[in-house]
Amino acid sequence: MIVVFVGVMYIRSMFEVPDLSKAPAYYPFKSEAAKTNYLEHYDRRSTVWPVPSETRMVKTSYGETFVRISGPTNGSPLVLLPSTSASGLMWMPNVKALSEEYRVYAVDNIYDYGRSVNRRNINGAEDMVAWLDGLFTELALGDSINLMGLSFGGWLTSQYTLSHPQRLNRVIWVAPVATVKPLPGEWAWRGILSALPHRYFMKTFMMDWLFEDLCKMQDKQNLKLIDDLMQDAILGLKSFVFRMPVMPTVLTDVELEGIEVKTLFLVGENEKLYSAGEAVSRLNQVAPQLKTEIIPNAGHDLTLVQLDLVNSRILEFLRETPRN
């Protein structure tokens, strides 16, 4: 009975809204030691960022947001939003090509792993969009922003597109979670099992499934990439306190039809979160103004296994004649 009671109380605590005014100084980490360990790992990883960069810790009404900035100071702004359980460092393979022409802002999500710290509770899409809009204002990015996100970042990009189209030049949704098609039930149980902080669970139930194409590539470079991704995620699980995730949603036909911002939707042909063909078919039918492309021989790992192709499609889209 005691075990059952403790289990019930633990699960209940996960759904309680925390009082951040009483949070310890090391929040959102589990302890001071966890904070030190994670940030030392983060800084070691950042030393191989492939281009010169500067960093800023930007104060917003939701907390401090860490941003790594690369590229020419006079380049058009290109903001990169990471997937869940990742930081802005996930864009390391892509940034060299993207920052040759654009001023690239790789953001650590305010409500995930990385150096950003939320000082207010995040309760849904509205809070995420409000945080992002405040960040853009503090960075003085103006009203011609190029915005790109992968997975959860792709969904957040779609939400910002709906709420603040006047601030955007072009947007790119890369394998956005939900957004176009619902998440499969398989995602839920795999996510729960992979949340156990051990390499076996992360690799077996998530990496081997979601990043199947990458895991098939057994060369030294890609094996190192897989290892880095798993280390980042596992250390994040061990280091950060649990924060109730924001659940991504599927856009309605009306919402998709109303998008006027130039938008590119990229998805790998082997995507596991939904059928790539069905997603593109829906967009082509209800929102033909959106540009779509299925990337061959890739899944949710399309920015890695098809790095050059994805980068070229992104740059081609961004270089198209701008809107009037």
Q: What pLDDT is recorded for position 321?
A: 67
User: How far, CA to CA in Å, does 316 sit from each of 141, 173, 279, 313?
Assistant: 22, 15, 22, 5
Q: What pLDDT is recorded for position 250?
A: 98
Full-model pTM: 0.92
Protein fold of 30-319: Rossmann fold (3.40.50)
Burial call 234-252: b when 16+ CB within 10 Å, e when fewer: bbbbebbeeeeebebbbbe
Q: What pLDDT is recorded for position 6?
A: 33
List alpha helices for the chain, DSSP H. Answer: 2-14, 32-46, 92-98, 125-138, 152-163, 185-194, 199-202, 208-210, 212-216, 220-239, 253-257, 276-286, 302-305, 307-319
Q: At what angle do helices 125-138 and 152-163 cross, to 10 degrees?
A: 80
Q: Do 204 and 295 contact (CB within 8 A), yes or no?
A: no
Rg (CA), the chain: 19
Q: What pLDDT is recorded for position 106?
A: 98
> Mind listing the pLDDT tens digit of every residue in the chain (324 residues)?
333 333 333 334 444 567 898 899 999 999 999 999 999 999 999 999 999 999 999 999 999 999 999 999 999 999 999 999 999 999 999 999 999 999 999 999 999 999 999 999 999 999 999 999 999 999 999 999 999 999 999 999 999 999 999 999 999 999 999 999 999 888 788 888 787 777 788 888 788 889 999 988 888 887 788 888 888 989 999 999 999 899 999 999 999 999 999 999 999 999 999 999 999 999 999 999 999 999 999 999 999 999 999 999 999 999 986 544
User: How far, CA to CA in Å, does 114 sit from each of 36, 224, 297, 310?
Assistant: 12, 20, 30, 25
Q: What pLDDT is recorded for position 16?
A: 58
- Hey, where are the domains in the chain? 30-319
